[in-house]
Amino acid sequence: MPLLEVRDLGVRYGSVAAVRGVSFTCDAGEIVTLVGPNGAGKTSILNAVAGALESARLTGDVRFDDVPILGDAPERIVHRGISLVPEGRRIFTTLTVGENLRLGATPHGGSAEDMVSVLERFPILAEFRRRPAGLLSGGQQQQLALARALLARPRVLLLDEPSLGLAPQVVGDLFRAIADLRDEGIGIVLVEQHARRAMKLASRCHVMGHGTFVQGLEGSDVAEVVGAYFGGDALP
Amino acid sequence: MSDVAQHLVNAASLGSLYALLALGIAVIFGVGRILNFAHGQLITVSAYVLLVVSGLPWPLVVVLTLLTGVVLALAMERFAFRHVRRADPATTLIVGFAVAALIQEILVLSVGARSKTVDFATSTTLPVDIAGISIPRLDLVTMGVTAVLLIGLTLLLTRTTVGIQLRAASEDFGMARLLGVRSTRIVATAFAISGLLAGTAAVLLTAKSGTLAPEMGTPAVLIGFFATVIGGMGSLPGAAVGGFVLGVVTVLMQVLLPDGLLPYRESLLFTCVIAMLLFRPQGILPAATAGQRV
Amino acid sequence: MSMLRNTWIRAWPLVGLVLLISVLSALLATGGGEVRAASMTGLLDVVIVIGLYVFVGNSGVMSFGHIGFVAIGAYTSALITIPAVSKSLLLPDLPGFLGSIEVSMWASFGIAAVVAMLVAAVLSVPLMRLSGIAAAIATLALLVIVGDVLSNYKALTGGQGTLTGVPTDLTVGSAALLVVIALAVAFAFQMSRFGLRLRAARDDEVAARSLGIAVENERRIAFVVSAGISGAGGAGYAHYVGSLAPDQFYLQLTFLILAMLILGGMYSLAGAVLGATLLSTLSTVLDRLEGGEGVGPLQVKLPANTREVAVAVILLAVLFLRPNGVMGGRELSWPRVLGGRRPQDDFGPPPPGEPAGSGLVDGDPISVKAG
């Protein structure tokens, strides 16, 4: 039984079907990526799973630990163990870094050990703890967004375009951090423009177009496609 | 010289009162994007409860009045505004209109339309002499209470978990929920704070005027609305500043306007509000809200 | 033949309402004095609601200030129809020609409409740059300002007291004619290219702008037209009650008129008319019951203010349960018994659960971004 199972998911905005008949699973300790052009429906899938869309717009079935969660309120879903790091990060810019982190711990009330371990992972955040989060650089904000999500002790992380707007060097660090999280046993659903890097990490990759999956790749196929489409040069 | 000082005290006192009114509106607008026209009726009903219990020792009177504001505010959220959580602010304004009318008419049904006098804290209207200026005690109380509430609110918002959640929800409600902040609880908390502020305003207004009328809340809520516009909608510091500015300008106009224009001071003031909406819609101290919320 | 029928079908939303109003008024006009008075109130409510509808329904922008135009119309009409003799007593300080001028009731309706439109035209220049909550607050401020000026400009209005002496020469027939004119203007406006462009902008402002529609200007036109209808409604009101005071034109009336519009559904002319008719009837019935007069076989005495409580409860119920109102944005449809299908509906009733426009809309509290 997979940790997260999405079956035949559909999302409608008015008369427009943004997502149709999408199914995939994500297990603990694996990365599943969704790639595809803008407007293909990737963000809608993550929002639907995280509970950020009205239930009236949704069809299909999403199960977490075999419990149906589709249409639940977002605060309930995060309490269950699924955290979304949304597109654009949505840091609370008027709150301090520390306050942002404290909010991340909302589902469990926040333990000191959690905070320490997160700050060890992202030391720059400890340094800027009292600063308004709006003053952080893009890369630092992305670290904060990730740290904030981790404090909820997620078992599945939904990452929406985490590398968007970041400098290439920072992107490398970010992907290493994502790989670390996978190795620690978190299931990750990753939506990325940097398709090549994302696919390198992924055990499964779904290519989207017009609201549905047009191609699915698994295991060694992913590496093969990466090689075929993007050339064989090794990545950092 | 002492004249000027006297006016300044007046201005500061009225400004404090208006700041309380504006904060009551702003705390709900910030979190819930709800413009609660029925805030005026929170004040009115609290004031009538004060009238009923005014025979008790004054600390008890104050507590019961504040409690009325809180309970009624929570009831409003539960039975009215929760049903239109997804509506845009203009619709919530109409819902507030309806709730306000309902409460006011029920009040008229039960206590009558005529105004009543209340014998509460009358001694506070007596002046004290400070440095040659005679200041009504109530003005000092108003300023003091406002200062205490502002400090308390600041501490709540910066030091407590629920306060941080409130600020986060004001900036980006959806993201706060995605982090696990319970939407119903946080909106209810905002209403409770608003009710507390309304109860406080009821105590101060009643002590000041000594009379109650079923429609006493309406001018108060209009002041609150327009002050939040001036200060910056959704911004709590903005609301406090906006209320204060509105109070000070009101007193200034009373002092400085020529006789011919004096009757129109409200019109002038509210024309400034419209001008503010046109030329500086974000107000004096803009709220930091994520773009998609506005 | 078929072209003629198509014209009929196209005009049916108007013709149907005109027939409805005419038949209703003709019936009521034969009633006793109280029935006639009640029907005049109802008809004037319809005019005022239509006035508000022309702006709010077509633009999707809320206005709390339209009762200000009703007030302007009422006072304008009063000032030019109160006999000069009475005016010299009531308002000795009237400026210039206003002291001596005396016109007929219908002329005063026209002039009242024009004055309201002029005021609206000036105000619309800044106001129509606003939309959403800013527009709502600015128009509320406008209402307060109009009330304040009416209460204080004693030379013109007599101040806070009551201005009496307006000839009460309104009949059910003339009130009905006023409704028909308002209906015709409102219908012509919404079928005109101005109306269509404004509705397009209401349903999708970004798309409308990208087509080159200057949304502010379209709103300005609707604002001015709707102020004219509101002003004429106010003038009719003056000639019905005969005496005016500023507090008749404040929040209470604003609330009642808004409730009527929302009850019927703010996105169709039929909704405006229906809402006004329903609520006005109910309001009259409850008023009589409160007064202990009874209505036909119904002889109960209700406590005072039952009417106001009922209006508030009904409005809340509509807002919670059917935010698009009774008509749900639809116009009257061509009766099936007469054969033929419904005409292509230019304005497309919003599908259930998908309200159109930006007035009573469902805005997702969480940002939604298709990606």
Q: How many Cβ atoms sit within 10 Å of the Cβ of residue A176?
A: 12
CA–CA gap between residue C213 and residue C356 (Å, rounded): 19
Q: What residue type is assigned to position B124 of the chain?
A: T
In a domain, A41, yes or no: yes
Residue A34 has pLDDT above 70, yes or no: yes
pLDDT tens digits along A83-121: 999 998 899 998 999 999 999 999 987 788 889 999 999
Q: Does residue B52 sit at the C interface (CB-CB below 8 Å)?
A: no
Distance CA B255, CA B251 (A): 6
Domains along chain B with CATH numbers: 2-126+146-288 (1.10.3470)
C350 → chain A, closest CA residue? A14
Beta-strand pair A212-218/B133-136: unpaired
Q: Structure tokens of C227?
A: 């102020």
* Tens of pLDDT, residues A199-212: 888 888 888 888 88
The CA distance from A47 to the nearest CA of chain C, in Å, is 8
Q: In B, which residues are within 8 Å of C143 by CB distance?
A: none
Comparing CB atoms, the residue among A43, A54, A74 nearest residue C369 is: A43
pLDDT tens figures, B235-291: 888 999 999 999 999 999 988 888 888 888 888 988 988 988 888 888 887 776 543
Contacts A148 to B, Cβ<8 Å:
179
DSSP code of residue A189:
E
Report yes or no: A95 and A103 within 8 Å, Cβ to Cβ: yes
CA distance B31 to B163: 11
Residue A173 to residues A122, A214, C125, C193, C210: CA-CA distances in angstroms? 11, 30, 54, 58, 42
- How far apart are alpha carbons A140 and A170 in whole angstroms? 9
Contacts of A104 in chain B (CB under 8 A): 179
CB pair distance less than 8 Å for C371 and A74: no
Residues 6+ apart with CB under 8 A from A19: A9, A10, A11, A41, A44, A45, A48, A211, A212
Site from B165, B171, B173, B178 to mutate, A interface, most A CB atoms within 10 angstroms: B178
Contacts of C148 in chain B (CB under 8 A): 263-264, 266-267, 270
Residue A141's identity, in one-letter code, is: Q
Q: Return the pLDDT at B292.
A: 34
What is B231-244 written as a DSSP string? Answer: H-TT-HHHHHHHHH
CB contact under 8 A, C368 and A40: no
How far apart CA A19 and CA A212 sit, in angstroms, is 6
Cα separation, A224 vs A209, in Å, equals 21
Q: Which of B168, B172, B181 sits opposite A75 (nearest CB)?
A: B181
Within a domain: A9: yes
Q: Are B27 and B236 in contact (CB under 8 A)?
A: yes
**How far apart (Å, rounded) are the C-alpha atoms in residues A5 and B131?**
75
Chain A interface includes B180 (CB < 8 A): yes
Per-residue pLDDT tens digits for A53-74: 988 899 999 999 999 999 899 9
Per-residue pLDDT of chain C (371 residues; tens, 9 = 90+): 566 667 777 787 888 888 888 888 878 877 777 888 888 999 999 999 999 999 999 999 999 999 999 999 999 999 999 988 888 888 888 877 888 888 999 999 999 999 999 999 999 999 998 888 889 999 999 999 999 999 998 888 888 888 998 999 999 999 999 999 999 999 999 999 999 999 999 988 888 898 888 999 999 999 999 999 999 999 999 999 999 999 999 999 999 999 999 999 999 999 999 999 999 999 888 888 888 777 777 777 888 788 889 999 999 999 998 888 888 888 887 665 555 444 444 444 443 333 333 334 333 333 333 33
Q: What are phi and psi of A231, to 5 degrees?
A: 80, 160
CB contacts under 8 A, A 43-82 vs B, are 50-52, 54, 73-75, 78-79
Q: Is A127's pLDDT higher than 80?
A: yes
Q: Do B89 and C132 touch (CB under 8 A)?
A: yes
Q: Is residue A235 part of a domain?
A: no
CA distances from B203 to B20, B46, B53, B208, C30 (A): 12, 8, 12, 9, 56
Which residues of chain C does B101 touch, with a Cβ-Cβ cutoff of 8 Å?
Answer: 252, 255, 308, 311-312, 315
Q: Mean pLDDT score of chain A, rounded to an integer?
A: 88
Are the C-beta atoms of A158 and A83 separated by less than 8 Å?
Answer: yes
Establish if B271 touches chain C: CB-CB under 8 angstroms: yes
Closest-approach residue (CA) in chain C for A17: C370
**Which residues in chain B have Cβ-Cβ distances shorter than 8 Å to C359?**
88, 90-91
Count CB-CB contacts under 10 A for residue A71.
16
Per the CB < 8 A criterion, the answer to whether A206 and A31 are in contact is no
| Cα of C351 to nearest chain A Cα, Å | 9
If residue A137 lies in a helix (H) or strand (E), which one and from where to where?
Answer: none
Contact B174 A74 (CB under 8 A): yes
Mutate to test the interface with B, among C140, C160, C360 (most CBs of B within 10 A): C140
Which range (A36-50, A191-205, A216-230) has the least confidence? A216-230
Q: Residue A230: its pLDDT value, please? A: 54
Which residue on chain A is closest to C354 by alpha carbon? A14
Indicate whether B210 pLDDT > 70.
Answer: yes
Q: Which two tokens stand for residue B96?
A: 């507030």
Cβ-based contacts of B174 with chain A (< 8 Å)? 52, 74, 90
In a domain, A236, yes or no: no
pLDDT at residue C341, as a whole number: 47
**What is the SS3 assignment for chain C?**
CHHHHHHHHHHHHHHHHHHHHHHHHHHHHCCCHHHHHHHHHHHHHHHHHHHHHHHHHHHCCCCCCHHHHHHHHHHHHHHHHCCHHHHHHHCCCCCHHHHCCCCCHHHHHHHHHHHHHHHHHHHHHHHCCCCHHHHHHHHHHHHHHHHHHHHHCHHHHCCCCCECCCCCCCCHHHHHHHHHHHHHHHHHHHHCHHHHHHHHHHHCHHHHHHCCCCHHHHHHHHHHHHHHHHHHHHHHHHHHHCCECHHHHCHHHHHHHHHHHHHHCCCCHHHHHHHHHHHHHHHHHHHHHHCCCCECCECCCCCCCHHHHHHHHHHHHHHHHCCCCCCCCCCCCCCHHHCCCCCCCCCCCCCCCCCCCCCCCECCCCCCCCC
> What's A108's DSSP letter?
G
Q: Which of A203, A206, A160 is nearest to A182 (CA)?
A: A203
d(CA A20, CA A208) in angstroms, rounded, equals 11
d(CA C192, CA C217): 15
Hey, what are B143's tokens? 């300023």
CB B265 within 8 A of CB B250: yes
For β-strands A187-191 and A31-35, DSSP reports them as parallel
Which of these, A34, A73, B270, lies nearest to C143 by C-alpha position?
B270
Tokens 């259930």 belong to residue: C352
Q: Do C316 and B86 touch (CB under 8 A)?
A: no
Exposed/middle/buried for residue C108 (C-beta within 10 Å: 0-12, 13-18, 19+): buried
Q: A99: domain range?
A: 4-230
Mutation for C interface: A19, A20, A47, A55, most C CBs within 10 A: A47
CA–CA gap between residue B217 and residue B202 (Å, rounded): 9
Rounded to an integer, the average pLDDT of B141-157 is: 93
Instruction: Count CB-CB contacts under 10 A for residue B68.
Output: 23
Contact list in A for residue B176 (CB cut-off 8 A) is 103
pLDDT score recorded for residue C338 = 58
Nearest CB among A74, A83, A95 relative to B168 is that of A95
Task: Give the closest-approach CA distance of A11 to chain C in angstroms.
Answer: 10
Distance, in Å, from the CA atom of B31 to the CA atom of B27, rounded to the nearest integer, reads: 7
**In this structure, is residue A67 part of a structural domain?**
yes
Q: Which of B3, B8, B9, B5 is nearest to B139 (CA)?
A: B9
Total domain count, chain A: 1
Cβ–Cβ under 8 Å, residues C239 and C166: yes
CB contacts of C369 in chain A (<8 Å) are: 43, 47, 87
Closest-CA distance, B147 to chain C, in angstroms, reads 28
Instruction: Dump pLDDT digits (tens) for B30-54.
Output: 888 899 999 999 999 999 999 999 8
At A48, the pLDDT band (50, 70, 90 cuts) reads very high
**Contacts with A52 from chain C: Cβ below 8 Å:** 366-368
What is the rounded CA–CA span in Å between residue B224 and residue B37? 9
Phi, psi of C298, deg, nearest 5: -85, 110
- Separation CA A127–CA A122 (nearest Å): 10
